[in-house]
Structure 1
């Protein structure tokens, strides 16, 4: 009787092979003779590891072998099954007009993760949006072909509180995610047009928008800056090692993640310059903290000139810091068992900075923290007549429009304008 052919997308029987590790070489396969295992010379040998393998017939009809090792049979089997599950995971080629939105969400997420074109923090935000809003939302059980501009608009509108305007940020991110999902569906001929692009943008009530914008905007006064910096340098806060970091944020306007990822090799103390951007500290699930070569925008690489006071502080810090295996300028504080040799976590450091503000008696606008130094730098530079392009370069914005929208007040007329009129 002919052996039954493996169905496409399935695998055959799983076999196990005993292995003996050899120093500096590939593991040796052991032959089973009766109840014992023997090496190639026929001598009895005890297995050091096991190899689980099987033949897989992929969806293109071709048969391929998949194998994984483990210290025990159970571990080898678990590794093999995990590899098979990953190999047989749905691909974007499986997207059809009848695909459910909840399934499209998983396919798009896998596609984005494989592409590796967005930062870890952006991936976290996308996952959160999918899990919190889209997959359990009203669109989830609809087929891709059943989604239109109206249903998208209604879904996004439902994320915003009509009275307070809360949820504007969630709706904006959800729109971005949905647009990406349906772009993938369009590329796979599941639908002809992207309904998200056709949907009207959802707007919060004017009063709510004004209130939210008022809460978000703001900058520190000179007296507030002095109070915060003095508090960070006080004996009660010295062990937290925040004074130099706050001086650096106040003197450059960089993002907190950029500052915590800064290494000494990108600081030129002789020229009083620092290379910023392209690196930030992120927390990766299962790995911990790491410096990643991604920034908040596409034009974040820039060289900044340090104010004399900041350059002086960094010079003192470099001399007194001692051994620093990671080479970062602002590692964890040198207390406890860590000894100041690990990366600082952005959220935890931001919480500590908020506590410094509280101790200094400075009230923070809602949702603000270390980023308030960045707002202050942008606002002050514009108020002093620094060209918008230079301010945009200092802050690492992709376009001057971002700088103008965030920091330039339309109620304040520039002196340069008066001189030309």
Structure 2
């Protein structure tokens, strides 16, 4: 490597610039600053598999976001061409033209991949770290009201159960799944992963241990993962009477099965997929004219109801969160009502009324 300048000092400065723009002598043979971004993606995905720290569902999500969102924008560049300004413009454009959520997901996988390039000495620094902060647009969690919950129950119970309906009627599991979501605060995958051995209806109140989730990895059969979304989400919750009754019905229905048998399952005895349950719920509610309800709506509803009665810390414990800040930010609907005790307190500011005023009435 060489560089020239009008003076010795200027030549040294130019040489340092050349050196900084080239991969170092320690650079791996797999990646250099002249490697394509596509090559980086291949190495990054292989590295994720080598570390094996991610849940299969998270690994699949990262690859999907990389290939579908990020790769089309950067596949024509070498690593040295991926600058802070180029990444900054891309993330901002994505947030404006698509969504904040998509921009956030793109930033995550792009930062992870370019971080690997830094560790391989192909880049001196990760350009994602210096881009402008991605500010989330204002939003708030929305919980269902008691009236809305009952309307959903009515719609699900009535779906495809009238005269003139072609084909077999629904097996009743969807309405039961909803009752379990409302009674446990569990994610849909956690509910579908409940086994016989996780339920104790002899206790008062009945309890459910949430210790797994249903996953559907790409190219592999749907199965029960032996821990929830996070390892710290494993918990045992006490459930209300309406949820306990549903669980009793399920246990009686297949009393002869092994303790590890799932509470909810297909006609073939295999695990229900979360996508199928979401599609079925969406079809039912669309037909009933009910919009904006997803399985996560029930989780937010539980969080809000518990917060009103017992506070955010109890709601966070129920949902399996490590911090009530997460629960308050994303699951509890803000309460606009101020404690009515303020009216009693403010009586201290009432106007004084003299005895003369009382006797004379309103005359001035």
**Does residue 185 of structure 2 align to residue 253 of structure 1?**
yes
> Contact conserved, 2:31 with 2:122, CA < 8 A, in 1?
yes
Call closer, same or farther: CA 1:318–1:288 in 2, change over 3 Å. Answer: same
* Bigger share in helix: 2
Q: Under a length normalisation based on structure 1, what TM-score does the superposition of the two structures give?
A: 0.66
Q: Under a length normalisation based on structure 2, what TM-score does the superposition of the two structures give?
A: 0.76
Counterpart mapping for 1:1-400 below 5 A: 94-137=30-73, 139-162=74-97, 166-203=98-135, 209-210=137-138, 213=139, 217-234=141-158, 236=161, 238-271=170-203, 272-277=206-211, 279-324=212-257, 327-332=261-266, 334=267, 338=268, 341-359=269-287, 361=288, 363-365=290-292, 368-384=293-309, 386-400=310-324
Call closer, same or farther: CA 1:108–1:280 in 2, change over 3 Å. Answer: same
Call closer, same or farther: CA 1:107–1:417 in 2, change over 3 Å. Answer: farther
Question: After the TM superposition, which segments of 4 or more aligned residues of structure 1 sit over 3 Å from their partners?
Answer: 230-235, 322-326, 407-411, 413-421
Aligned Cα RMSD in Å?
2.8
> Contact conserved, 1:159 with 1:167, CA < 8 A, in 2?
yes
> Contact conserved, 1:331 with 1:344, CA < 8 A, in 2?
yes
Higher relative contact order (CA 8 A, sep 6+): 2
> Contact conserved, 2:144 with 2:298, CA < 8 A, in 1?
yes
Provide the residue aligned with 1:52 in structure 2.
Answer: none
Following superposition, the deviation at residue 185 of structure 1 comes to 1.6
Q: Distance in 1 between matches of 2:296 and 2:50?
A: 31
5+ residue gaps in structure 1? 1-91
5+ residue gaps in structure 2? 1-27, 162-168, 347-364
State the aligned residue count. Answer: 308
Q: Distance in 2 between matches of 1:409 and 1:241?
A: 28
